[in-house]
Amino acid sequence: MADRTIKANSCHAPRGGRAMDLSNGHRIGIIGGGPAGALTAYYLLHLSQRVGLHLEVDIYEPKSFIAAGASGCNHCGGVISETLIQMLALEGIIFPPGILQSTIDSYTLHTESGAVRIQAPLQEMRIATIFRGGGPRIPLIPGAPAILSFDHFLLQRACAIGARHIPEKVVEIRREGDRPQVVGKSGTATTYDFLVGATGIMGSATTLLEKGVAGYRPPVKGSSYVCEFYLGPDVVEERIGHDMHIFFLNIPGIQHASIMPKGAIVTVCLVGDAVDKAMVDHFLAHPEVTKCFPVAWVRPPDKDSCACTPKISLGSASMLFGHRVAFTGDCGVTRLYKDGIGAAYRTARACATTLVFWGISPAVLERYFQPVCAAIAADNRLGRWVFHLFELFRTQRFLNRAVLAVTRWEQGRPPEQRLMSMTLWDVFSGSATYRLIFKRLFLNPVFLVRFAGAVLLALMVELGVGPWAFWRKMRR
Ligand SMILES: Cc1cc2nc3c(=O)[nH]c(=O)nc-3n(C[C@H](O)[C@H](O)[C@H](O)COP(=O)(O)OP(=O)(O)OC[C@H]3O[C@@H](n4cnc5c(N)ncnc54)[C@H](O)[C@@H]3O)c2cc1C
């Protein structure tokens, strides 16, 4: 067995000679060319070339990401963190102009009790917005800058270092001997030494995996709504600015709502248990939301706006790898309510590193790939508690007043004292773990005392009593 003291991501890790190592000419099939599939291919080739290993990597992806509208899009809010952009850049993936639409360095928190604007507490907490496909299917003014697709760029980057893009949908996964075989829509069957499922969870993607891989069950899915409106660059600048707008509104069924700028366009993103048209109408008519649109703005008819209702992954699949198969991105495990592209990056990189440096056996996948996925799943469990807490902040007016008061007070303080601001930023957009957020909130006595004070004051305002009357009320 290999020397286990060498780190899995070291290019000096021993390989070769074991029955389940990859060797020259081995073929890897990847189903799905979204971020998880493209990045798995990229890292497989990038790392294998560094150790002189020649692999053949095929990516099956039927979508043309340069197409406008739903057909070219992998439906998402389109927010990525500065940290992810920098990590990709360090590994040779540098985004050309036109991919990153707007840089966001502040956000506005809208609650039932008012709004507050918050500057990103630290430089590395900036985020950027992207379009996954060729842009929304809405009439743009002539001469508007071209929109470049994030997913298209990643797929092209993987192809540039040797991946082969097969523009076909996989309709069946089966076995030939002990090797996986995929059947494309054209009927062509190809056998691989290893198969990576990176299909995401939309449409029939997970049914394909369930039928073809014994024991695979997809993650639990939630519902969401994404729509994009063309407002023009000046209106976006004036109404939305360079802020991500986060809404803590008491609209039943909507857990998480945000509006973000993308050049001349704004994206509205709602996540909840069963987001329906009535909830969307309720949200768009809320006074805190209408502030983000021009006065007298009329929502365009459905045919002139680009909207979709994608499923969102809320957990992890029943298995993350097996015999000659592994799952990266959403169809394996992703982060709860945020940073899905970051999770696709982490799982793709961990999977590729394991295959190239340690081999393809379930034992090495368990040792080197599984911990990365398990860390994401464990963090999501804490994330659920964080969201329960935020659910209270969102629905109880006195609590959202307290959050607002503490957040307002923190502005102008040094970054390390802006704990509520950092927490809000990280819960909704940042790449920080939920564990860190939890620790930051609950292991800081100064913050807890400050917040408890704000809650008491907000409660007094809510009850319309002064401190003594409040004290007497509480004692009764
Ligand atoms: C409403 C919403 C908002 C979100 N906002 C954000 C955000 O702001 N930031 C963020 O980081 N994440 C966000 N996410 C999560 C993010 O979209 C996903 O985590 C990310 O897309 C996962 O990438 P993936 O490659 O695993 O899957 P996908 O992006 O879904 O890609 C899967 C690919 O597989 C292809 N495919 C499927 N089946 C087959 C088949 N049979 N044969 C061949 N190809 C196939 C599909 O065509 C697709 O291109 C959001 C998600 C939702 C639903």
Q: CATH number of the domain that 185 lies in?
A: 3.50.50.60
Condensed to tens digits (0 to 9), the pLDDT of residues 372-404 reads 999 999 999 999 998 888 888 888 888 888 988
Q: Using an 8 Å Cβ cutoff, are 28 and 192 in contact?
A: yes
Query: Rounded to an integer, what distance in angstroms lies between the CA atom of residue 297 and that of residue 137?
Result: 19
**Distance of CA 49 from the midpoint of ligand 1 (Å):** 27
The CB of 134 under 6 Å from ligand 1? The reply is: no
The CB of 133 under 6 Å from ligand 1? The reply is: no
The CB of 76 under 6 Å from ligand 1? The reply is: yes
Q: By C-alpha distance, which of 247, 356, 243, 240 is closest to 297?
A: 240
Please identify every stretch of the chain with a pLDDT value under 50, giving residue numbers as ranges: 1-13
Instruction: Look at residues 349, 380, 411 and tell me which one is the last residue of a structural domain.
Output: 380
Residue of 74, 183, 213, 311 best suited for mutating to test ligand 1, as the one with most atoms within 8 Å of CB: 74
Which two structure tokens, joined as six digits, stand for 365?
Answer: 């996948």
**Distance of CA 171 from the midpoint of ligand 1 (Å):** 18
**Count of domains for the chain:** 2
Instruction: Answer yes or no: do 471 and 399 share one domain.
Output: yes
Instruction: Look at residues 380, 398, 425 and tell me which one is the last residue of a structural domain.
Output: 380
Query: Rounded to an integer, what distance in angstroms lies between the CA atom of residue 294 and that of residue 238?
Result: 9
Closest atom of ligand 1 relative to the 171 alpha carbon:
41
The CB of 340 under 6 Å from ligand 1? The reply is: yes
Is residue 85 one of the residues assigned to a domain? no
Q: For residue 432, what are the domain limits?
A: 389-475
Geometric angle at alpha carbon 329, from 388 and 213, rounded to 5°? 110
pLDDT of residue 474: 62
Closest atom of ligand 1 relative to the 170 alpha carbon:
42
Condensed to tens digits (0 to 9), the pLDDT of residues 87-117 reads 999 999 999 988 988 888 888 999 888 899 8
Instruction: Answer yes or no: do 326 and 463 share one domain.
Output: no
Instruction: Answer yes or no: do 325 and 424 share one domain.
Output: no
The CB of 166 under 6 Å from ligand 1? The reply is: no
Closest atom of ligand 1 relative to the 340 alpha carbon:
19
Is residue 79 one of the residues assigned to a domain? no
pLDDT of residue 15: 54
Instruction: Answer yes or no: do 360 and 397 share one domain.
Output: no
Strand pairing class (164-166; 56-60): parallel
The CB of 39 under 6 Å from ligand 1? The reply is: no
pLDDT of residue 145: 66
Instruction: Answer yes or no: do 352 and 396 share one domain.
Output: no
Instruction: Answer yes or no: do 423 and 442 share one domain.
Output: yes
Instruction: Answer yes or no: do 354 and 406 share one domain.
Output: no
Instruction: Look at residues 380, 411, 436 and tell me which one is the last residue of a structural domain.
Output: 380
Query: Rounded to an integer, what distance in angstroms lies between the CA atom of residue 301 and that of residue 227?
Result: 12
pTM comes to 0.91
The CB of 135 under 6 Å from ligand 1? The reply is: no
Is residue 236 one of the residues assigned to a domain? no
Element containing residue 328 per DSSP (H, E): none
Instruction: Answer yes or no: do 337 and 409 share one domain.
Output: no
Instruction: Answer yes or no: do 199 and 170 share one domain.
Output: yes
**Distance of CA 162 from the midpoint of ligand 1 (Å):** 23
Is residue 231 one of the residues assigned to a domain? no
Which two structure tokens, joined as six digits, stand for 82?
Answer: 């500065």
